[in-house]
């Protein structure tokens, strides 16, 4: 139990550190790489909560596909590191105070309504392997959402190809 | 969490191993004697002709985005494959097959459209 | 990782040993590759240094360690040095999730005055219920090592090589993921040990209520999923950047692709990662399609355990696990040889041919395989349980 506590709290600390570095480091590529580490940490948190399949999906899709795209895009633009990583001025100062307040409110609300982290997760409905429960529910209770998702992905695919062929762009159709 | 600790311990060990090896190689290798020729990027020995940002064809990004979409669709097939046997043994095999068949139809249509629209062509 | 000091220590040492096995396989595989390719090309390979040229790799390692260390002038030092270390991590994490033999049961024993309880040590680093998904997730991190290497060198050829390599890797991950869906449809589980257990015994399945059994063939996955096996094997070649998909490292095309600016041991570490991926690929093929560590009817866990009835239970369990491990590694070595054999036999694919193959041939065939398997499983198992 002691090792679990140490493990969880160090994971949480690292995760917060990586997330903080993501938004404060001036070089965009370093920020993307810190974001990759954050995604991997989030997958670990999912695993700790008992959602093993979701942790795997987070790694495969988010850390393995989406972030690869981000890093590929960023590495190919010759981006200079921002000279000043923090902007100045009254308006941006007010925005910063507001977002810090919102973040504090979110954190307090989450802390108030969350259960003890180190307890074992509640037994899945009806017992049994949680991944199987997920599968069964996905194809019975949430079938409509699942099919709509397929159509949504099709729309995204068509949209991506069309946007890359915008008139005046490099790949416009003649 | 107790199952994740070995994963992190192993990743840490590999990183430490790599760093130790690099440090060791640094210690016993010949010292770096930088000169301008060695420091330039290697381009088959010829001096660099173009400079500035490299322009990369948009195909790479298109491939990456399409990969994300199809990867998500494949991820949805994993719980389906896992519970397929359970559905069959309860007599609902045809139902879950048809549910996934519609999704696959949309997927295949998407792929077919991409191929027809020449979005996956590489020169 | 375990409840008391003995268990934790043994488990940690086990993980480190598996990692070191991967590192040590590299010199052996490179020797096999150099000698094997030499014989295929009708010449001698290295045969001067040591008996049969076996010490050649040791000499090469010493050479690598003493090469001049420098960072390319315009490179980014931290990323440049981090890329080879990152290249080793995905293969190691994936390798430790794969079972290499049956678990070892250790009876309670006395040591240093206290009694250490009965343990069960699995023959793998860690065992997750979602085995396959974990291996896929960790393998998809391999693209980052390529991108970091290309970026850290700040050389446009390295960057191009890295881009092409990662685009190739992600294209073939689709076919790989899909062909594994076929395997899961068949075995109904994500866990590797269960997949191996289900491949024990003779070939038998239920077909529309009747039980078909062919006694002289083992119940291996290859007989149920031949197309899936072929697609997975081809996709794994692309994942490990091996010929015929090794354009990212092609000599003469992009100098050396994403590792142009690397010399010395950093270069070697990329190859540890690549051969590690080859090893993971071979083990995956053996686990999914070739029965893992069993070989019906002569070498199954029960028959091998019967050889060692005279020993104490701990020793019997250990010896059984070792024998079955040797069985598995023989199959794995066979697949590794096929990897090497293919490299020196097939010509390299051009990049657009490669991407066409991935998206327009393998993906549709993998889809067809999934649908066909689903239909056949539906027909076969309705009316009876297999």
Nearest residue on chain C to B122, alpha-carbon basis: C352
Q: Assess B80–A contact: CB distance below 8 Å, yes or no.
A: yes
- C5, B10, C91, C54: CA torsion to nearest 10: -70
Contact assignment for C143 to A76 by CB distance below 8 Å: no
Q: Assess C96–B contact: CB distance below 8 Å, yes or no.
A: yes
- Up-side HSE of residue C342: CA atoms within 13 Å toward CB? 19
Average pLDDT over residues B44-70: 73
* Spatial contact of C257 and C163, defined as CB atoms under 8 Å apart: no
Average pLDDT over residues B9-16: 92
pLDDT band of A77, cuts 50, 70, 90: confident
Q: How far is CA C301 from CA A28, C118, C294, C307, in A?
A: 54, 20, 7, 10
Give contacts of B 1-60 with C, CB under 8 A. 2-3, 5-7, 9-11, 13-15, 17-19, 21-22, 24-26, 28-34, 36, 38-44, 50, 54, 56, 60
Q: Assess B75–A contact: CB distance below 8 Å, yes or no.
A: yes
Looking at residue A167, its pLDDT comes to 74
Nearest residue on chain B to C270, alpha-carbon basis: B18
Looking at residue B12, its pLDDT comes to 92
All residues of chain A having their beta carbon less than 8 Å from the beta carbon of residue C130 are: 52-53, 55-56, 131
Q: Which stretches of A25-128 are DSSP H helices? A: 28-48, 52-57, 67-76, 90-113
DSSP codes joined into one string, chain B:
-TTHHHHHHHHHHHHHHHHHHHHHHHHHSPPP---HHHHSPPSTTSPP---SPPP--THHHHHHHHHHHHHHHHHHHHHHHHHHHHHHHTT-HHHHHHHHHHHHHHHHHHHHHHHHTTTT---
The pLDDT tens digits for B35-56 are 665 655 555 555 555 555 566 7
* Spatial contact of B80 and B96, defined as CB atoms under 8 Å apart: yes
| Of C225, C174, C170, C162, residue with least CA distance to C362 | C174
Candidates A48, A54, A68, partner chain C, best to mutate (most C CBs within 10 A):
A68
Residue C312 pLDDT greater than 90, yes or no: no
All residues of chain B having their beta carbon less than 8 Å from the beta carbon of residue C370 are: 77, 104
Average pLDDT over residues C210-223: 81
All residues of chain B having their beta carbon less than 8 Å from the beta carbon of residue A164 are: 58, 61-62, 119
Q: Give Cβ neighbours of residue A90 (< 8 Å, ≥ 6 apart).
A: none
Residue C273 pLDDT greater than 70, yes or no: yes
Looking at residue A83, its pLDDT comes to 60
Residue C135 pLDDT greater than 90, yes or no: yes
CB pairs under 8 A between B and C: 200
Rounded to whole angstroms, how far apart are CA atoms B3 and B16?
A: 21
Residue C307 pLDDT greater than 90, yes or no: no
Candidates A72, A135, A140, A143, partner chain B, best to mutate (most B CBs within 10 A):
A135
Work out the minimum CA distance from B28 to partner chain A, whole angstroms: 31
Looking at residue A87, its pLDDT comes to 73
Q: Give Cβ neighbours of residue A134 (< 8 Å, ≥ 6 apart).
A: A53, A54, B79
Neighbours of A16 (CB within 10 A): 12
Rounded to whole angstroms, how far apart are CA atoms C120 and C14?
A: 13
Q: What is the mean pLDDT of chain A?
A: 83
Q: Specify the range with the lowest mean pLDDT, choosing from A82-91, C99-108, C233-242.
A: A82-91
Candidates C130, C146, C163, C178, partner chain A, best to mutate (most A CBs within 10 A):
C130
Q: Assess B91–A contact: CB distance below 8 Å, yes or no.
A: no
pLDDT band of A38, cuts 50, 70, 90: very high
Rounded to whole angstroms, how far apart are CA atoms C386 and C378?
A: 11
Q: How far is CA C345 from CA C186, C276, C302, C307, C338, in A?
A: 33, 22, 40, 42, 10
Residue B81 pLDDT greater than 80, yes or no: yes
pLDDT band of C127, cuts 50, 70, 90: confident
Average pLDDT over residues C16-32: 87
Q: Specify the range with the lowest mean pLDDT, choosing from C51-55, C228-232, C312-316.
A: C51-55
Residue A126 pLDDT greater than 50, yes or no: no
Candidates B81, B85, B100, B121, partner chain C, best to mutate (most C CBs within 10 A):
B81
- Up-side HSE of residue C31: CA atoms within 13 Å toward CB? 20
The pLDDT tens digits for B86-115 are 888 888 888 899 999 999 999 999 989 988
Neighbours of A153 (CB within 10 A): 20
Residue C89 pLDDT greater than 90, yes or no: yes
Pick A167 or B38 by higher pLDDT: A167
Pick A40 or A4 by higher pLDDT: A40
Q: Which chains have at least 3 CB atom pairs separated by less than 8 Å from chain B?
A: A, C
Q: How far is CA C325 from CA C92, C221, C299, C321, C337, in A?
A: 19, 19, 11, 6, 18
Contact assignment for C70 to B34 by CB distance below 8 Å: yes
Q: Specify the range with the lowest mean pLDDT, choosing from A63-67, C112-116, C309-313.
A: C112-116
Q: Give Cβ neighbours of residue A41 (< 8 Å, ≥ 6 apart).
A: A11, A14, A15, A18
Average pLDDT over residues A134-151: 90
pLDDT band of C386, cuts 50, 70, 90: very low
Q: Using omega within 30 degrees of 0 as the cis cutoff, is the peptide bond preceding A147 cis?
A: no
The pLDDT tens digits for A91-119 are 888 998 999 999 999 988 888 877 665 56
pLDDT band of C255, cuts 50, 70, 90: low
| Candidate from A135, A150, A170 with C-beta closest to B79 | A135
All residues of chain A having their beta carbon less than 8 Å from the beta carbon of residue B66 are: 157, 160
Pick C99 or C114 by higher pLDDT: C99
C66: three-class secondary structure by DSSP: coil
Q: Using an 8 Å CB-CB cutoff, list residues of chain C that contact chain A.
A: 128-130, 133-134, 136-138, 140-141, 143-144, 147-148, 150-151, 159, 162-163, 166, 170, 173, 177, 190
Residue C256 pLDDT greater than 70, yes or no: no
Pick C374 or C315 by higher pLDDT: C374
| Of A13, A18, A47, residue with least CA distance to A35 | A18
> Cα B36 from chain centroid?
36
| Candidate from A56, A63, A64 with C-beta closest to C130 | A56
All residues of chain B having their beta carbon less than 8 Å from the beta carbon of residue C91 are: none
Contact assignment for B78 to C160 by CB distance below 8 Å: no
| Candidate from A72, A135, A153 with C-beta closest to B83 | A135
Rounded to whole angstroms, how far apart are CA atoms C228 and C248?
A: 26
Percent pLDDT > 90 in chain B is 29
Nearest residue on chain B to A134, alpha-carbon basis: B79
Q: What is the mean pLDDT of chain C?
A: 83
Looking at residue C91, its pLDDT comes to 92
Contact assignment for C190 to A131 by CB distance below 8 Å: yes
The pLDDT tens digits for C363-381 are 999 999 999 999 988 888 7
Residue C334 pLDDT greater than 70, yes or no: yes
Residue A11 pLDDT greater than 70, yes or no: yes
Say if pTM beats, i.e. exceeds, 0.80: yes
Rounded to whole angstroms, how far apart are CA atoms C339 and C322?
A: 25
Encoded tokens for C33: 């590759």
Looking at residue A43, its pLDDT comes to 94
Looking at residue C226, its pLDDT comes to 92
């Amino acid at each position: 139990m002691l090792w679990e506590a140490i493990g969880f709290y160090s994971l949480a600390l690292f995760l917060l550190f990586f997330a903080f570095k993501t938004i404060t480091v001036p070089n965009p590529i370093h920020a993307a790489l810190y974001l990759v580490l954050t995604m991997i940490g989030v997958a670990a948190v999912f695993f700790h909560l008992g959602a093993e399949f979701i942790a795997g999906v987070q790694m495969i899709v988010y850390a393995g596909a989406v972030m690869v795209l981000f890093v590929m895009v960023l590495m190919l633009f010759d981006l200079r590191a921002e000279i000043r990583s923090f902007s100045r001025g009254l308006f941006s100062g007010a925005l910063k105070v507001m977002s810090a307040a919102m973040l504090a409110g979110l954190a307090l609300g989450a802390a108030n309504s969350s259960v003890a982290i180190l307890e074992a997760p509640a037994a899945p409905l009806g017992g049994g392997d949680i991944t199987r429960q997920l599968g069964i529910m996905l194809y019975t209770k949430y079938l409509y959402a699942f099919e709509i998702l397929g159509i949504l992905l099709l729309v995204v695919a068509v949209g991506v190809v069309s946007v890359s062929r915008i008139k005046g762009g490099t790949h416009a159709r003649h | 969490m107790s199952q994740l600790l070995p994963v992190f311990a192993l990743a840490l060990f590999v990183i430490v191993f790599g760093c130790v090896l690099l440090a060791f190689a640094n210690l016993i290798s010949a010292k770096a004697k930088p000169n301008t020729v060695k420091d330039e990027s290697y381009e088959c020995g010829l001096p660099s002709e173009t400079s500035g940002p490299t322009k990369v064809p948009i195909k790479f990004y298109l491939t990456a985005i399409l990969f994300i979409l199809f990867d998500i669709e494949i991820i949805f097939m994993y719980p389906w494959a896992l519970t397929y046997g359970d559905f069959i043994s309860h007599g609902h095999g045809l139902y879950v097959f048809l549910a996934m068949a519609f999704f696959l139809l949309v997927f295949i249509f998407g792929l077919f459209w991409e191929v027809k629209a020449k979005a996956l062509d590489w020169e | 990782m375990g409840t008391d000091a003995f268990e934790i220590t043994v488990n940690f040492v086990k993980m480190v040993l598996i990692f070191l096995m991967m590192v040590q396989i590299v010199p052996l595989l490179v020797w096999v590759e150099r000698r094997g390719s030499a014989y295929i090309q009708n010449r001698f390979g290295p045969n001067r240094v040591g008996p049969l040229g076996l010490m050649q790799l040791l000499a090469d390692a010493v050479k690598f360690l003493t090469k001049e260390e420098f960072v390319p002038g315009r490179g980014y030092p931290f990323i440049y040095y981090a890329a080879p270390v990152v290249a080793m991590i995905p293969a190691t994490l994936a390798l430790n999730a794969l079972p290499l033999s049956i678990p070892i049961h250790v009876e309670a024993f006395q040591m240093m005055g206290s009694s250490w309880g009965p343990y069960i040590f699995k023959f793998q680093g860690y065992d997750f219920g979602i085995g396959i998904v974990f291996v896929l997730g960790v393998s998809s991190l391999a693209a980052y090592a390529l991108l970091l290497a290309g970026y850290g060198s700040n050389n446009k050829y390295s960057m191009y090589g890295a881009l092409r390599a990662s685009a190739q890797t992600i294209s073939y991950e689709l076919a790989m993921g899909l062909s594994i869906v076929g395997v899961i449809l068949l075995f109904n589980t994500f866990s590797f040990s269960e997949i191996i257990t289900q491949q024990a015994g003779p070939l038998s399945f239920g077909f529309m209520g009747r039980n078909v059994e062919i006694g002289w063939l083992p119940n291996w996955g290859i007989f149920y999923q031949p197309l899936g096996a072929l697609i997975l094997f081809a996709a794994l070649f692309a994942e490990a950047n091996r010929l015929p998909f090794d354009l990212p490292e092609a000599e003469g095309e992009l100098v050396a692709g994403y590792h142009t600016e690397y010399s010395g041991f950093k270069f070697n570490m990329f190859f540890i990662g690549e051969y590690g991926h080859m090893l993971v690929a071979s083990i995956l093929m053996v686990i999914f399609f070739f029965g893992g560590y069993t070989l019906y009817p002569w070498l199954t866990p029960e028959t091998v355990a019967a050889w060692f009835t005279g020993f104490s239970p701990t020793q019997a369990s250990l010896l059984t696990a070792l024998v079955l491990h040797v069985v598995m590694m023989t199959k794995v070595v066979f697949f590794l040889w096929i990897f090497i054999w293919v490299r020196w036999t097939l010509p390299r694919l051009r990049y657009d041919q490669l991407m066409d193959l991935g998206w327009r041939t393998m993906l549709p065939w993998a889809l067809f395989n999934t649908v066909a398997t689903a239909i056949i499983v539906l027909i076969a198992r309705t009316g009876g349980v297999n």
